[in-house]
Amino acid sequence: MRSFLSIGVLFMAGILGACPSLAAEPRSGAWEIDGEHSTVAFRIRHIVGHVPGVFARFSGEVDYDPAAPTRAQFYILVDSASVHTGVPARDEHLRSPDFLGVEKSPRIIFASKSVTRGEGNILLVTGDLTIKDVTAEIQVPVRILGVAEHPFKDKMPDTKVMGLHAEFSINRLDFHVGEAKWTQMGVMGETIDLTIDMELLQR
């Protein structure tokens, strides 16, 4: 876990250094992902049912100021090899070149480009999603669940907690994940449904 987070920090530093508006001054709205209280989950149709799974390792950073929500920025990295469906043989197949090709593409990356307001407490986050050899623009509806002071003030002094929830879908064929024939045979669907629940900390 530490090595993956270190990679995430280096990646983030590269992005921030390449963006003058972020690199010029410290960002007061920076939040770090609390991995112990966050989940990146997915499901895909198998014949007539669904197979669920998660990615167990991920990192990233969110820049969010409640006073200026449309200036928010999101950088998320997911360790492709951490895919977990509860069936070891299936997980190994998902890591293979047939699907995620983790040896050549060890990370799934999302980097936001713009944010607009949706209904209520929803932000419409547009950004680039990279899976394998494909980078494509997607829009993710992110629900801001709230911001609160951390209740364990002795262990986490001067720490705020924010909750985020997002549900969206992508077409696996757009990202070269699996072959079209498996959908044509009725084995698996093309649509991958993703659900992201995150708690983030601001110290």
- Cα 158 to its chain centre, rounded Å, is 26
Half-sphere exposure of 197 (CA within 13 A, CB side): 7
Residue 189 lies in a domain: yes
Residue 155 predicted with pLDDT over 80:
yes
Domain count, the chain: 1
**Predicted TM-score (pTM) of this structure:** 0.84
* DSSP per-residue string spanning 143-171: EEEEEEE-S-TTTSTT-EEEEEEEEEEEE
User: Do the Cβ atoms of 174 and 183 come closer than 8 Å?
Assistant: no
Domain that holds residue 119: 2-19+29-202
Residue 63 lies in a domain: yes
Q: Can you give the pLDDT at residue 32?
A: 95
H or E stretch at 113: strand 107-117
Residue 105 lies in a domain: yes
How do residues 33-47 score in pLDDT, each as one tens digit?
999 999 999 999 999
CATH number at residue 55: 2.40.128.110
Q: How confident is the model at residue 23 (pLDDT cuts 50, 70, 90)?
A: very low
How do residues 62-94 score in pLDDT, each as one tens digit?
999 999 999 999 999 999 999 999 999 999 999
The residue whose two tokens read 């801001």 is 144
Residue 150 predicted with pLDDT over 60:
yes
Tell me how far apart the alpha carbons of residues 162 and 128 are, in angstroms, rounded to a whole number: 23
Residue 108 predicted with pLDDT over 50:
yes
Residue 24 lies in a domain: no
Tell me how far apart the alpha carbons of residues 98 and 117 are, in angstroms, rounded to a whole number: 38
Residue 100 lies in a domain: yes
Residue 167: exposed, middle, or buried by beta-carbon count in 10 A (0-12, 13-18, 19+)? middle
